[in-house]
Amino acid sequence: MPKSRFEPSAEQTALLPEISGNTINGLGETELRRPSPIYWHKPDSISHGAAQAWMTDKFNAVEELAGVYSKPGARGPRRLDPVAEAKTQNTPQAWATMAKQFSLEHETDLVGIAALKAEWVFEGYDLEKEHPWLIILGIAMDYDGFAAAPSSDSDTRSALEVADKYNKGARAAAALANWIHAHGYNAKSHAGPWAGSITLTPAAIEAGFGELGDHGNIINDQYGSCFRLAAVSTDLPLIADSPREFGVDEFCSRCQICINACPADAISDEKKWVRGVKKYYVDFDKCVPYFNETHGCGICLAVCPWSRPGRAESLVVKLARRRAAQK
């Protein structure tokens, strides 16, 4: 995909507040803290609400996209079932195995468990006090549809694929939360594109989904970056999975395809401090205007070599061989 320098329109620029989104996100901060709501929250509750409202209005003005997130049944039941009065007893290990099995049988392609950390919960929420566990769900996207990114008013394939998988994630999370309720424990489902109370990416890394790529998203060793996240927080006793590394850092340092493909020059090859963690970070102020114009962009994830069907598995083998040869 050729790189074409994107200049935000005056209309887009006027929507952004004086404060940089990178400041709100904690760029340059070396201390751990909770994330601040910035996007995909109620427009009247965030500094970038005007840009957020513009994006959703533009999205819903396209006939094919309007209402894709609100079609009856698309995201599962509107309300979860009540919590059963009697608690089923089991060991945390048995619950973890059963919850994963249930998820994989109910529209989920990847599943992992993490102990919920306060630094993943947005300011204004304290979910970790009620729900010490997070079950993360990964929903694989159809590569051909997603790889048509970026979307436009006349070509909505990528945006529709993203919406379809966020809706699937919402259904999968609701089904798992209801299963937990039926066993007498509390649970809450979390599904995009709205951010809700938790930022799911660091939680999914902790739960073993993969590593953060240069494009600021997870690279999984099966689906690359061609999947979406959903989750269930709960007080069901569970066992946490562990983070996994398979060579993404080394690969990204030589690849840089997403850096060259991003029309907004929002991706850098340097890791930066963000709220106490040094990691790859996408420049929020540069990304958002292009993201808004294209119903969610996604170019950086679509061009990532790991996202091509079947490619991630072969890259893992190649990188492991290279590491073994270097020993």
Residues that bind ligand SF4 (CB under 6 A): 213-215, 251-252, 255-258, 262, 264, 266-267, 282, 287, 290-291, 297-300, 303-306
Q: Is the CB of 80 or the CB of 255 nearer to ligand SF4?
A: 255
First-last CA distance in the chain: 37
Would you say 139 or 149 has its CB closer to ligand SF4?
Answer: 149
Report how far residue 6's alpha carbon sits from residue 104's, in angstroms, rounded to the nearest whole number. 41
Whichever of 173 and 219 has its CB closer to ligand SF4, that residue is: 219
**Smallest separation, CB 56 to ligand SF4 (Å):** 16
Per DSSP, the three-state class of 272 is strand
Q: Residue 62 burial by CB count (10 A; 0-12/13-18/19+): exposed, middle or buried?
A: middle
Is the CB of 185 or the CB of 306 nearer to ligand SF4? 306
The answer, yes or no, to whether the previous bond of 150 is cis (omega within 30 of 0) is yes
CB 297 within 8 A of CB 306: no
The nearest distance, CB 306 to ligand SF4, in angstroms, is 6
Q: Least separation, in Å, of the C-beta of 229 and ligand SF4?
A: 16
Q: Which two tokens stand for residue 77?
A: 């039941």
Pick 74 or 195: Cβ nearer ligand SF4: 195
Closest approach of ligand SF4 to the CB of residue 251, in Å: 5
How far apart are the C-alpha atoms of 118 and 129, rounded to whole Å?
9
97, two tokens? 């195995």
> Smallest distance from the beta carbon of 43 to ligand SF4, in angstroms?
20
Distance in Å, CB of 198 to ligand SF4, minimum: 21
Q: List phi, psi (to 5°) of 309.
A: -55, 130
* C-beta closer to ligand SF4: residue 95 or 306: 306
- In whole angstroms, how close is the CB of 155 to ligand SF4 at the nearest point? 15
CB of 202 to ligand SF4, least distance (A): 16
Name every residue whose Cβ is closer than 8 Å to that of residue 211 and which is 6 or more positions away in sequence. 205, 218, 219, 244, 245, 246, 248, 249
Three-state DSSP class for 308? coil
Q: How far apart are alpha carbons 288 and 6 in whole angstroms?
A: 12
Please give the Cα distance from 230 to 220 (Å, whole number): 15
Instruction: Put residue 26 in one of left, alpha, beta given phi > 0 → left and psi -120 to 50 → alpha.
Output: left
Residue 218 CA, chain-centre distance (Å), reads: 8
The residue among 128 and 214 lying less far from ligand SF4, judged by its C-beta, is 214
The two structure tokens encoding residue 263: 């029309």
Which CB, 230 or 303, lies closer to ligand SF4? 303
